[in-house]
């Protein structure tokens, strides 16, 4: 199924300050990639304008937190720091309003025929907690989408797979305890944000619950593939999701400056390819981390080609 990229250009104006790894250049680099892939027919591409309100984040996040963001947006003192690593300005608010628009498109797609989407946005979301920003993240896109799909389609089964190098602690905090949701996170551990040891895992009768898979520093493609084969995909196959949401962070790549894992773009291609085999009519991948611009671009390309299905050439991602 050809991926449809929802590109949020407003994310280009959000900045955390000079020399920050979560930079506008990340989205700029991906913009060039998406144009190329769209021109060759590998993806379709839409540019998403900013919406008018944050109501889609109301529920997964506390109202008082969203009100606080709105009041900061009205304040002349800008930008502000929401945590030591995360800045907020009026440009940030516009970026978040753009992701809210993209979320409403994704929710609409679930009412219709489904589809295969890649949401390219900044700031990322998976560390954002119900009541606060954390680790470059301000609002949680993947969790908000799952939360609303849960509300609108109470019979559905929703899986969230997070393969960022960091534990998706915010997503887990928002979704834990909601019925018929499976959250899987593979991540380096011990590592930021300190959670995700696996001790709080749960496994319901049909596979719903929490599956945190901590990985040692230095984990490579071969070991990660074993984890996919023996743990991640068996659980997804048992759960049989109606809707699949992917927190797609690419900072587990061996060239990433923040993470300590040794994955390559080959594994991202495989993940994309294998997700298609689940037969899920709706897949929404949401960009999270990935801080080496070249590795990010190559990894996103590999993943999108994988999502195109098993016919796309894997050979170009094999290392010589
Ligand atoms: Zn990350």
| Sign of the alpha-carbon dihedral angle for 152, 154, 156, 161 | positive
Q: Do residues 125 and 79 lie in contact, with contact meaning Cβ atoms separated by under 8 Å? A: no
> pLDDT by residue (tens digit) across 58-82?
999 999 999 999 999 887 676 789 9
- Structural tokens at position 222: 């071969």
Output the CA 288–ligand 1 centroid distance in Å: 6
Output the CA 318–ligand 1 centroid distance in Å: 24
Average pLDDT over residues 104-127: 96
Q: Rounded to whole angstroms, how far apart are CA atoms 153 and 46?
A: 26
Output the CA 100–ligand 1 centroid distance in Å: 21
> pLDDT by residue (tens digit) across 134-183?
999 999 999 999 999 999 999 999 999 999 999 999 999 999 999 999 99
Which residues are tagged catalytic?
Answer: 127
Output the CA 250–ligand 1 centroid distance in Å: 7
| Threshold 0.85, pTM exceeds | yes
Mutual angle of helices 24-39 and 293-307, in 10-degree steps: 40
> pLDDT by residue (tens digit) across 1-14?
899 999 999 999 99
Q: Do residues 160 and 171 lie in contact, with contact meaning Cβ atoms separated by under 8 Å? A: yes
Instruction: For residue 297, give Cα distances in angstroms to 110, 164, 207, 229.
Output: 28, 15, 33, 26
Output the CA 258–ligand 1 centroid distance in Å: 8
> pLDDT by residue (tens digit) across 245-272?
999 999 999 999 999 999 999 999 999 9
Domains of the chain (ranges, CATH numbers): 4-312 (3.40.800.20)
């Amino acid at each position: 199924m050809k991926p449809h990229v929802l590109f949020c250009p407003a994310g280009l104006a959000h900045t955390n300050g000079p020399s920050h790894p979560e930079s506008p250049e990340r989205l700029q680099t991906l913009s060039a990639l998406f144009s190329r892939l769209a021109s060759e027919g590998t993806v379709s591409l839409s540019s998403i304008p900013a919406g008018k309100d944050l109501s889609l984040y109301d529920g997964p996040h506390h109202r008082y937190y969203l009100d606080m963001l709105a009041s900061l947006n009205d304040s002349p003192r800008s930008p502000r720091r929401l945590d030591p690593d995360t800045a907020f300005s009026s440009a940030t608010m516009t970026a978040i309003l753009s992701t809210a628009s993209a979320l409403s498109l994704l929710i609409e797609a679930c009412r219709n025929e489904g589809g295969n989407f890649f949401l390219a946005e900044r700031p990322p979301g998976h560390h954002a907690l119900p009541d606060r920003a954390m680790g470059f993240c301000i609002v949680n896109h993947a969790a908000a989408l799952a939360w609303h799909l849960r509300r609108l389609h109470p019979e559905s089964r929703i899986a969230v797979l997070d393969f960022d190098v960091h534990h998706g602690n915010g997503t887990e905090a928002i979704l834990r305890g909601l019925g018929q949701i499976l959250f899987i996170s593979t991540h380096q551990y011990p590592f930021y944000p300190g959670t995700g040891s696996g001790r709080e895992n749960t496994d319901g009768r049909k596979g719903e619950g929490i599956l945190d898979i901590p990985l040692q520093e230095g984990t490579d493609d071969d070991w990660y593939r074993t984890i996919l084969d023996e743990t991640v995909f068996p659980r997804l196959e048992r759960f049989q999701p109606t809707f699949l949401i992917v927190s797609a962070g690419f900072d587990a790549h061996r060239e990433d400056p923040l993470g300590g894992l040794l994955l390559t773009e080959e594994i991202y291609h495989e993940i994309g390819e294998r997700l298609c085999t689940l037969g899920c009519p709706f897949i929404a991948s949401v960009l999270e981390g990935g801080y080496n611009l070249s590795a990010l671009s190559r990894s996103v390309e590999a993943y999108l080609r994988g999502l195109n299905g098993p016919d796309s050439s894997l050979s170009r991602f094999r290392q010589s």
